[in-house]
Amino acid sequence: MKHILRLLRTKEWIKNLFVFVPLIFSRQLFAVERIEDAALAFFAFCFLSSSVYILNDIRDCESDKRHPKKKNRPIASGAVSKTTAAVIGVISLLLAAALGAQCGGKVWLALAAYAAINVGYSFSWKHIVLVDVFCIASGFMLRVMAGAWAINVEISQWLILCTLFLSLLLAITKRRSELHLTTESGGDAGTRSVLSKYSFSITEQMTTITASGAVISYALYTVSDRTVKMFGTENLVYTTIFVLYGVFRYLYLEHKESVGENPTDVVSSDVPLIIDLMLWVASSAVIIYGRL
């Protein structure tokens, strides 16, 4: 069971929390029916993302065996056979489809688009420079859009832009960390072939652009006319400090410790980053629901 849970990458399900972003910012956080709708979409993405991870692990089994970290994955290490993994992947896919069908047509389309993009990524697009990071970013955007569609609310364009820049930042720093790992291992870590088309200098420039875009788009969202009118306050702008600290802290960890290869590990293990995230959620909730 331990190996099956690792195969499903349940730890990575934290990424699907992006589905709940529209729930918070639409002032529906305490509406039970809306919470249930968002939860259905969340678990649909959890099972779908697990099936995608399994497909990737089956496809990349041989290269993973040569990777210093990925060699310990269930399929690459031999703990779970490819046949067993394929069966579990199909079951996960069917569960995702069933849950998605209960969420409505738009959410189901978001799930279908996520699946299609990731299949394309697994078989081809992950080898195309820049296209690979945009594929990763699209997954986060689809989560946010599906979260809004699940509870039938309109989402701010600024929030969509913020999600785009933030997800691109995570994807680019992931590539930078993989470059660092490849360099440390002497240039042959069984990593992605697309890494040869990236360099530290270009990833530095892209990191600067995406980090700036994420912070600025969030700040503009907090002071936009639509946001101020909806929440009845301009005080949401003060939560930008937590967004700035979170981005700075993540970049610090990436540059000093090269931990960006797995953003989930960073977010779930770094205490200052966890505290910052909790403070952002708490302050946002107080301002939005307390109308401060």
Same domain, 192 and 103: no
pLDDT (average), residues 82-103: 94
Please state, in angstroms and rounded to a whole number, the distance separating the CA atoms of residues 50 and 34. Answer: 24
The 10s digit of each residue's pLDDT in 21-34 is 999 898 888 899 99
- The Cα–Cα gap between 124 and 192 comes to 12
Looking at the 3D structure of the chain, how many domains does it have?
Answer: 2
Highest mean pLDDT among 66-70, 201-205, 238-242, 259-263: 238-242
Its pTM stands at 0.88
Q: How many helices (H) and strands (E) does the chain have?
A: 14, 0
pLDDT of residue 206: 95
Q: How confident is the model at residue 189 (pLDDT cuts 50, 70, 90)?
A: very low
**Cβ–Cβ under 8 Å, residues 273 and 279:** no
Domain that holds residue 228: 156-292
Helix residue spans in 60-81 (DSSP H): 61-65, 74-77
63, 8: one domain:
yes
Domain endpoint, select from 119, 139, 155: 155
Final residue before a domain boundary, out of 155, 185, 210: 155
**Is 103's pLDDT higher than 60?**
yes
- Higher-pLDDT residue of 250 and 1 is 250
* One domain for residues 203 and 242: yes
Same domain (yes/no): 198, 147 = no
Please state, in angstroms and rounded to a whole number, the distance separating the CA atoms of residues 174 and 55: 20
Same domain, 76 and 188: no
Domain check: are 254 and 215 in the same one? yes
Are 14 and 117 members of one domain? Answer: yes
Question: What confidence score (pLDDT) does residue 272 get?
Answer: 95
